[in-house]
Structure 1
């Protein structure tokens, strides 16, 4: 089964500058802008915004 191009895999990088990343999928049709999620950064030891990198 082919993967849909409407839900690509994106990499989220921590804005704390620690280099921690998460990998997730997003719906490109309903959210065309860069994705920002608040996730746990285990190096910083707190929740910080993670921004989609391209």
Structure 2
């Protein structure tokens, strides 16, 4: 099915070194590069950058 090719599931891993991850989907056509989002890390108890982990 085309759904998995266009919008794959990606893991976002915390750069704080806590090992906390978020799981999301991304549009590969609009964002071909790796995703970097600033989200909340409950283990570090602050907002940090989360980078796409393949």
TM bracket (short chain): over 0.9
Q: CA deviation at 1:21?
A: 0.2
More helix by share: 2
| TM-score when normalising by structure 2 | 0.93
Runs of 5+ unmatched residues, structure 2: none
Summarize the alignment of residues 12-51 of structure 1 with structure 2, pairs less than 5 Å apart.
12-51=12-51
Runs of 4+ in 1 over 4 A off after TM superposition: none
Structure 2 counterpart of 1:8:
8
Runs of 5+ unmatched residues, structure 1: none
